[in-house]
C-alpha cells in the first residue's frame, strides 16, 4: 500500500511540474504548440514539423473576422539577455506585410512593429525582428503576442489565411548572407527587401521590383531587412538602376545603426528610360563593418522640402561597388590644365571650403557663397573677413598622377588690387580625406609679395612623391582681413620620361563599357602593353595584347586608369566599367 501511495505521489508531482513548467524558446513546433494559443477569430493546428495558425474568414471577404487576431503565449519564459532579435521561421501564406510583436509585463503592453514581412511565401522564410526599442525587453518576459496586419500603411485590417510556424528563437545578431548585387530575377524572391510609408511592392516580371507609391508620406521607403549583408569597409558606393515613373527626384540612402546620416543623389523624374543613380556612402561615419539593415527613401523635393506624391518605380538592380562609376567624381589625371576661363567657379570636380575658426583651431567646412567669375580669362574669388581668427579658404580637387611624366605642376595667380594685404598661399596634399584639415600636408608656400598686381605669375612645384597614389590637392589662402584671388591656370605639365618618349595617339571604346570587352585603337603598330589601376593606385592588370580587344570581364563596376604603351609611346586614359 505504501509503495502504491509513493507511485501516485511521484506521478502527481511529475504531472504538476509538467503542467506548470514554462517552455522558453527556442520553439520548434514539432508536434507541440509550446503553450501558444489562438484568439480573436483565429485557430491553431499542431503538426509534426510545424504549427498552422489560421486567421479565420467566415464571411468570405478575404479579411480576418477580427482586425486583431492573436498568436499568443502567456508562459513564454523569454530570457532577453540571449539577444535583441526574435528570429521567426515561417511560411506566410497570407497577403499580410506587417507583424506586431506585443510584450506584456506587469499589465503594461509594449509594441514593436515589423514592416518587413514578406507575403504569399512559396517556402519558409526567417525574419529577424529587432526588439531593442521594446520597453518590456528586459529580464524575463512571460507574455508575448504576435499579431498580423495588412501593412503598407493599413493597420486596421488583416488578411485571412494560414501562417505556418516552424521555429522561433532569440538571437544576438542577424546571421546575414553577404551580397552586393540584387537583380530580382526570381519573381517569388524579393531578396530581403520590403517597403513602408505608403509603398506597395510586387514582382510582376523577372528582373525588377515594381513599387507603387501612394500619396501618403514624404519619405516612402525601400528597406533591406537583414536577410543579406554588405562589407561596408570595402563597398563605399551603391548604384541603383531604375525606371522612375513618378515625380520623385531624389534617391536618399539612409545610414544604418542610427546616427541620422544620409546621402542623396538626383534622379530624373517621370521618365520611361532606365537610369543608374549612384549614391556615395564614403562620408558616413557609421558605414563600416558588416551592415545588414539599410534603406532608401524615394523623395520628391521641389527645392523647399520633401512632399508626398504618388507614382510608380521599377528597381532593376541594386549594386554595391568599391569605386565610383561616375566619371565626374573621378580625379583629374595625366596632363591637364584647368584654365577657369569664363566658367562658374568652382568648376566640376573642384570643391570650395572655408575654415571659420582660425588656423589650427578646428574647422567647420562649408561651401562659400562668394565665388564668382571675373572676365573671360580668369576666375575672381572673393573672400570676406571672418571674425575671430585667420580666414582660410580652400580650393580642393582630386588628382591622380600615374607616372613620372606628369609631376610638373604650375599655379598661376596675380595680386589683388596691387596691395599687399599680408595674404599667404599654400599647396597642401592629403591621401586620406578631402574635408579634414589635419590630413593635409604643406608641399609649397608663398606670400602675396611673390605675385605682381598687373600680371599673372606662375609658381611651379612637384608632386613626384605622390605618383601612382590618388590624392587631394588643396590651394589655400590665409588672411586676417579678407582678400581676393585672381586665378588663371592650374596645370599638370606632361614632361617626357625615359619610359615614355612620346604621347601615344589612341582611342578607347566603348567607354563606359557595359560588356566584357573594350577596344583600343592606335595608328602605332606593335604589341600593346596594358596596365590598369584602380583610383586607389592598386594595379589590377598587367598584360600584353597583340590585337585591339581587351577583356575587362573580371573588373568590378567602377572607375579605372588604363595605361597603354606601344613601342615606347604611352598614354593614360580613364576607363569606366558599368
In the Cβ-directed half-sphere of 565, how many Cα atoms lie within 13 Å?
14
554 and 488 co-located in one domain: no
Closest to 402 measured CA to CA, from 249, 276, 536: 536
Cross-strand partners of 224: 193, 294
478 and 510 co-located in one domain: no
CB atoms under 10 Å from CB of 509, counted, come to: 10
355 and 488 co-located in one domain: yes
Instruction: Establish if 435 belongs to a structural domain.
Output: yes
194 and 232 co-located in one domain: yes
Contact present, 162 and 118 (Cβ < 8 Å): no
Number of domains present in the structure of the chain:
4
Instruction: Establish if 10 belongs to a structural domain.
Output: no
Reduced to 3 states, what is the DSSP secondary structure of residue 82? helix
183 and 304 co-located in one domain: yes
**Bridging pattern class, strands 51-55 and 143-149:** unpaired
156 and 117 co-located in one domain: yes
CATH code at position 520: 2.60.40.3080
336 and 455 co-located in one domain: yes
| Listed residues 119, 145, 171: the one ending a domain | 171
CATH code at position 225: 2.60.120.260
Instruction: Establish if 4 belongs to a structural domain.
Output: no
Tell me 331's DSSP state.
P
- In this predicted model, what pLDDT tens digit does every residue of 60-109 receive, in sequence order? 999 999 999 999 999 999 999 999 999 999 999 999 999 999 999 999 99
- In this predicted model, what pLDDT tens digit does every residue of 199-220 receive, in sequence order? 999 999 999 999 999 999 999 9
Instruction: Establish if 360 belongs to a structural domain.
Output: yes
Of the pLDDT bands very low, low, confident and very high (cuts 50, 70, 90), residue 357 is: very low
CB atoms under 10 Å from CB of 19, counted, come to: 7
Q: The pTM is what?
A: 0.45
The mean-pLDDT minimum among 22-36, 122-136, 358-372, 517-531 falls in 358-372
Three-point CA angle 62, 308, 281, nearest 5°:
105
End-to-end Cα spacing for the chain: 87
Instruction: Establish if 243 belongs to a structural domain.
Output: yes
34 and 160 co-located in one domain: yes
- In this predicted model, what pLDDT tens digit does every residue of 513-555 receive, in sequence order? 888 899 998 888 889 999 887 654 567 888 999 989 999 988 8
**Higher model confidence: residue 168 or residue 556?**
168
318 and 350 co-located in one domain: no
Instruction: Establish if 17 belongs to a structural domain.
Output: no
Of the pLDDT bands very low, low, confident and very high (cuts 50, 70, 90), residue 420 is: low
Q: Give the C-alpha separation, 425 to 459, whole Å.
A: 11
Of the pLDDT bands very low, low, confident and very high (cuts 50, 70, 90), residue 169 is: very high
Average pLDDT, the chain: 80
Q: Give the range of the structural domain holding residue 474, as residue numbers without chain letter.
A: 329-493
313-325 average pLDDT score = 89
| Listed residues 493, 519, 542: the one ending a domain | 493
Q: Give the C-alpha separation, 264 to 253, whole Å.
A: 6
Instruction: Establish if 66 belongs to a structural domain.
Output: yes
| Listed residues 465, 493, 521: the one ending a domain | 493
441 and 484 co-located in one domain: yes
152 and 192 co-located in one domain: no
Instruction: Establish if 188 belongs to a structural domain.
Output: yes
382 and 298 co-located in one domain: no
Amino acid at each position: 500500500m505504501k509503495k502504491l501511495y509513493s507511485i501516485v505521489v511521484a506521478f502527481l508531482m511529475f504531472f504538476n511540474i509538467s503542467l506548470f513548467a514554462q517552455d522558453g524558446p527556442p520553439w520548434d513546433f514539432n508536434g507541440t504548440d509550446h503553450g501558444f494559443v489562438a484568439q480573436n477569430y483565429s485557430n491553431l493546428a499542431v503538426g509534426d514539423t510545424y504549427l498552422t495558425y489560421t486567421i479565420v474568414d467566415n464571411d468570405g471577404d478575404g479579411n480576418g473576422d477580427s482586425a486583431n487576431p492573436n498568436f499568443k503565449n502567456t508562459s513564454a519564459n523569454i530570457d532577453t539577455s540571449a539577444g535583441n532579435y526574435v528570429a521567426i521561421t515561417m511560411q506566410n501564406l497570407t497577403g499580410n506585410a506587417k507583424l506586431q510583436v506585443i510584450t506584456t509585463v506587469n499589465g503594461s503592453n509594449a509594441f514593436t512593429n515589423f514592416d518587413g514581412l514578406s507575403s504569399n511565401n512559396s517556402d519558409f522564410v526567417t525574419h529577424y525582428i529587432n526588439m531593442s526599442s521594446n520597453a518590456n525587453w528586459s529580464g524575463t518576459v512571460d507574455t508575448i503576442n504576435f499579431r498580423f496586419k495588412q501593412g503598407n500603411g493599413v493597420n486596421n485590417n488583416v488578411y485571412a489565411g494560414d501562417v505556418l510556424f516552424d521555429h522561433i528563437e532569440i538571437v544576438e545578431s542577424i546571421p546575414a548572407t553577404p551580397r552586393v548585387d540584387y537583380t530580382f530575377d526570381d519573381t517569388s524572391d524579393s531578396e530581403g527587401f520590403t517597403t513602408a510609408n505608403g509603398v506597395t511592392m510586387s514582382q510582376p516580371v523577372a528582373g525588377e521590383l515594381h513599387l507603387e507609391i501612394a500619396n501618403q508620406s514624404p519619405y516612402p521607403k525601400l528597406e533591406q531587412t537583414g536577410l543579406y549583408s554588405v562589407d561596408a569597409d570595402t563597398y563605399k558606393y551603391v548604384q541603383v538602376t531604375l525606371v522612375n515613373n513618378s515625380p520623385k527626384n531624389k534617391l536618399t540612402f539612409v545610414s544604418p545603426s542610427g546616427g541620422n546620416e544620409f546621402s542623396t543623389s538626383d534622379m530624373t523624374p517621370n521618365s520611361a528610360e532606365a537610369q543608374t543613380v549612384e549614391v556615395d556612402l564614403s562620408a558616413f561615419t557609421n558605414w563600416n563593418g558588416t551592415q545588414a539593415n539599410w534603406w532608401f527613401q524615394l523623395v520628391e523635393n521641389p527645392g523647399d522640402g520633401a512632399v508626398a506624391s504618388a507614382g510608380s518605380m521599377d528597381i532593376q538592380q541594386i549594386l554595391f561597388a568599391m569605386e565610383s562609376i561616375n566619371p565626374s567624381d573621378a580625379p583629374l589625371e595625366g596632363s591637364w590644365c584647368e584654365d577657369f576661363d569664363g566658367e562658374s567657379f568652382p568648376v566640376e570636380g573642384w570643391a570650395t571650403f572655408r575654415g571659420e575658426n582660425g588656423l589650427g583651431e578646428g574647422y567647420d567646412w562649408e561651401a562659400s557663397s562668394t565665388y564668382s567669375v571675373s572676365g573671360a580669362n580668369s576666375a575672381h574669388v572673393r573672400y570676406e573677413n571672418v571674425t575671430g581668427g585667420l580666414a582660410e579658404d580652400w580650393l580642393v580637387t582630386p588628382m591622380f598622377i600615374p607616372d613620372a611624366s606628369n609631376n610638373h605642376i604650375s599655379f598661376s595667380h596675380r595680386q589683388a588690387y596691387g596691395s599687399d594685404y599680408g595674404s599667404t598661399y599654400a599647396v597642401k596634399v592629403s591621401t586620406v580625406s578631402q574635408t579634414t584639415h589635419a590630413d593635409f600636408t604643406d608641399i609649397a608656400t608663398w606670400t602675396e609679395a611673390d605675385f605682381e598686381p598687373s600680371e599673372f605669375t606662375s609658381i611651379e612645384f612637384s608632386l613626384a612623391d605622390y605618383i601612382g597614389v590618388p590624392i587631394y590637392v588643396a590651394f589655400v589662402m590665409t588672411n586676417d582681413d579678407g582678400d581676393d584671388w585672381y586665378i588663371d591656370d592650374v596645370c599638370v605639365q606632361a614632361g617626357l620620361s625615359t619610359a615614355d618618349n612620346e604621347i601615344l595617339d589612341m582611342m578607347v571604346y566603348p567607354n563606359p563599357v557595359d560588356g566584357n570587352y573594350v577596344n583600343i585603337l592606335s595608328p602605332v603598330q606593335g604589341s600593346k602593353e596594358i596596365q590598369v589601376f584602380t583610383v586607389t593606385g592598386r594595379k589590377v592588370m598587367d598584360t600584353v595584347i597583340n590585337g585591339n580587344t581587351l577583356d575587362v570581364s573580371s573588373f568590378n563596376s567602377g572607375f579605372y586608369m588604363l595605361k597603354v604603351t606601344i613601342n615606347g609611346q604611352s598614354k593614360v586614359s580613364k576607363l569606366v566599367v558599368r
